[in-house]
C-alpha cells in the first residue's frame, strides 16, 4: 500500500498487517496426522485452532493456578516457526534434532515482522512453549501431544500404522502429557492401551 | 471407550472428549474466501485460528479496556455452529436470514455435548459474538470481517470478482469493522478504495 503521509501509529499497523499476511502461510504447512474422518492430512493452522480451543475446554485438567489464557495464546503461536522450518514428525528423532536451528532462524525472521516490543512478546510465548519450564507451557505441550493420540485412536490407528510407529514410542509421548496434566496423561495412556488391544497400534 | 468404573470427574472428561471429537468437523466446513496465495478455499478451523491470532496482534486497535483474551476465546468458538449450519456467504442476504434458525439449532446440539455449566459458558461466548452488544464482540466481529477484505485485497480482488460482489456491498461490511475499531475500519476502507482504483473491485 502506498501512503502519502505515515504517522507512527500507521507504521505499527503496517508492520502488523505485514505479519498478518505472512502468517496466512501456516495454512499450507501440512502435518503428518489426519483429520478425525481420515479424509486428509491436517495443516498447522487448523491444528493450532484445535489445540487452542482444547485448552479452553480441558483447562480444568491443568494444575491449579495455570493461566489458561496464556496457554491459549501460546498454542496460537506455537507452530508459526514451521512456516519456514516445516513440520517435523515427532517420531523421527534425527529430524527433530536438526529442526531446532531451523526453527530459531524462522523465529528470528517471522517475529521481527512485528513492531517494537510486540515481536519480542510473541517470540517469548514460543520460547516458553519450547522450553517447557512453566505450568502453562507444560500444559500447552501436553495438549499438542494429546490431540494426535486422540485422532489416531479415533481413526483406528490412523498415522501410527502408516508411519510404522510402535506402542513404546507413543507411550514415551504420553509421559509429556502426564507432565502437563496427570489426568489427561492417564486418559491418553488408556487410549494407547485400547489401541494396542484392538490391534490398531503394534508393540 | 469402555470403562468399568466411572467417577463423576471421568464423566466430565468423557463429555469434553466427545465435544473434542465433534469439533474436529470444523476443519471440513469450507468458506468462500481463498488463502492469500489463492491456492484453495479456506476452512472454518484455520479461519478461526487466524482471526484469534489477529485479535492478539491487533488488540491495541480495539477501544481502551477491551478484554482481548475474551475476544480470542469468542473467535475460537464463533464458527462452531457452522458444523451443522454450514458457511453462509455474507453477501447473500436471503441465505443470511434463513441461517439464524439453523445456527441456533446447531448451538443447541453442539454446546450440549459439554458437561454442566461449560456448555452454557461456551454458548454464551457465541451468543455474545452474534449480538454484538459489547466492545469485545464488536471487535471480534470487526476482525471476522477484516480478514477476508485483507485477503481479497492481497489477491487482486480474490472472491469479490468470482462472486460478483460490488464495492458498495464491501463498504457496508467496512461499517461493521469501524464499529469495532475505527482505525481498522479506516484501514479496510483504504484497501477497498485501492482495490477499486486498481480495477480489482467493481463499483
pTM, whole model, 2 decimals?
Answer: 0.93
Would you call A35 and B17 a contact, using CB atoms and an 8 Å cutoff?
no
Instruction: Give the pLDDT of residue B5.
Output: 52
Q: How many CB atoms lie within 10 A of CB A39?
A: 10
pLDDT tens, position by position, B155-183: 888 889 888 899 999 999 999 999 999 99
ipTM of this complex > 0.95? no
Residue A189 to residues A90, A113, A184, B2, B10: CA-CA distances in angstroms?
18, 41, 8, 14, 14
Instruction: Give the pLDDT of residue B96.
Output: 78
Would you call A21 and B28 a contact, using CB atoms and an 8 Å cutoff?
no
Would you call A21 and B77 a contact, using CB atoms and an 8 Å cutoff?
no
Would you call B57 and A150 a contact, using CB atoms and an 8 Å cutoff?
no
pLDDT tens, position by position, A132-170: 999 999 999 999 999 999 999 998 888 898 888 999 999
Confidence of residue A95 (pLDDT cuts 50, 70, 90): confident
Residue B31 near residue B41, CB atoms below 8 Å: yes
Residue A177 near residue A146, CB atoms below 8 Å: yes
Per-position DSSP letters for B163-192, written without gaps between them: TT-BHHHHHHHHHHHHHH-HHHHHHHHHHH
Name chain B contacts of A43, Cβ cutoff 8 Å: 46
The answer to whether residue A5 scores a pLDDT higher than 70 is: no
Cell 517494537 locates to A116
Residue A149 near residue A170, CB atoms below 8 Å: yes
Instruction: Give the pLDDT of residue B8.
Output: 66
Residue A149 near residue A174, CB atoms below 8 Å: yes
Mean per-residue pLDDT over chain A, rounded: 92
Residue A27 zone, left/alpha/beta (φ > 0; ψ -120 to 50; rest): alpha
Name chain A contacts of B34, Cβ cutoff 8 Å: none
* All three cell numbers of B61: 486497535
Would you call B39 and A28 a contact, using CB atoms and an 8 Å cutoff?
yes
pLDDT tens, position by position, B13-70: 999 999 999 999 999 999 989 999 999 999 999 999 999 999 999 999 999 999 999 9
- What are phi and psi for residue B43, nearest 5 degrees? -105, 165
Would you call B36 and A13 a contact, using CB atoms and an 8 Å cutoff?
no
Mean pLDDT of A55-81: 98
The class of domain A9-197 in CATH terms is mainly alpha
Instruction: Give the pLDDT of residue B177.
Output: 98
pLDDT tens, position by position, A8-54: 677 999 999 999 999 999 999 999 899 999 999 999 999 999 999 99
Q: Which of A21, A27, A52 is the closest to B52 by Cβ?
A: A52
- Rounded Cα distance between B136 and B128, Å, is 9
Q: How many CB atoms lie within 10 A of CB A69?
A: 18
Burial class (CB in 10 A: 0-12, 13-18, 19+), B160: buried
Cβ neighbors of B179 (< 8 A, separation 6 or more) are: B132, B138, B141, B142, B185
Residue of A nearest to B117 (CA): A57
Would you call B28 and A20 a contact, using CB atoms and an 8 Å cutoff?
no
Q: Which residue in B146, B134, B127 sits closest to B50, CA to CA? A: B146
Residue of B nearest to A27 (CA): B46
Name chain B contacts of A27, Cβ cutoff 8 Å: 35, 42, 46, 50
Distance (Å) from the C-alpha of residue A157 to the closest C-alpha of chain B?
14
* All three cell numbers of B84: 451443522
State the pairing for strand pair B41-43/B30-34: antiparallel
Cell 442476504 locates to B93
Distance (Å) from the C-alpha of residue A36 to the closest C-alpha of chain B?
6
The answer to whether residue A88 scores a pLDDT higher than 80 is: no
The domain spans of chain A are 9-197
Amino acid at each position: 500500500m502506498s501512503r502519502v503521509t505515515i504517522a507512527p501509529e500507521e507504521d505499527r499497523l503496517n508492520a502488523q498487517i505485514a505479519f498478518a499476511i505472512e502468517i496466512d502461510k501456516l495454512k499450507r504447512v501440512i502435518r503428518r496426522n489426519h483429520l478425525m474422518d481420515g479424509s486428509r492430512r491436517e495443516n498447522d493452522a487448523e491444528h493450532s485452532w484445535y489445540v487452542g480451543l482444547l485448552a479452553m475446554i480441558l483447562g480444568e485438567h491443568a494444575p491449579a493456578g495455570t493461566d489458561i489464557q496464556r496457554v491459549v495464546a501460546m498454542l496460537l503461536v506455537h507452530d508459526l516457526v514451521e512456516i519456514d522450518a516445516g513440520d517435523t514428525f515427532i517420531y523421527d528423532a534425527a529430524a527433530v534434532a536438526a529442526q531446532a536451528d531451523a526453527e530459531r532462524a524462522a523465529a528470528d525472521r517471522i517475529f521481527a515482522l512485528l513492531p517494537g516490543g510486540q515481536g519480542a512478546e510473541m517470540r517469548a510465548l514460543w520460547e516458553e512453549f519450547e522450553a517447557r519450564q512453566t505450568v502453562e507451557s507444560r500444559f500447552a505441550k501436553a495438549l499438542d501431544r494429546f490431540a494426535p493420540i486422540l485422532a489416531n485412536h479415533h481413526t483406528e490407528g490412523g498415522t501410527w500404522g502408516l508411519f510404522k510407529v510402535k506402542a513404546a514410542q507413543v507411550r514415551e509421548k504420553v509421559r509429556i502429557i502426564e507432565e502437563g496434566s496427570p489426568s489427561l496423561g492417564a486418559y491418553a495412556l488408556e487410549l494407547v492401551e485400547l489401541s494396542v488391544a484392538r490391534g490398531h497400534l503394534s508393540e
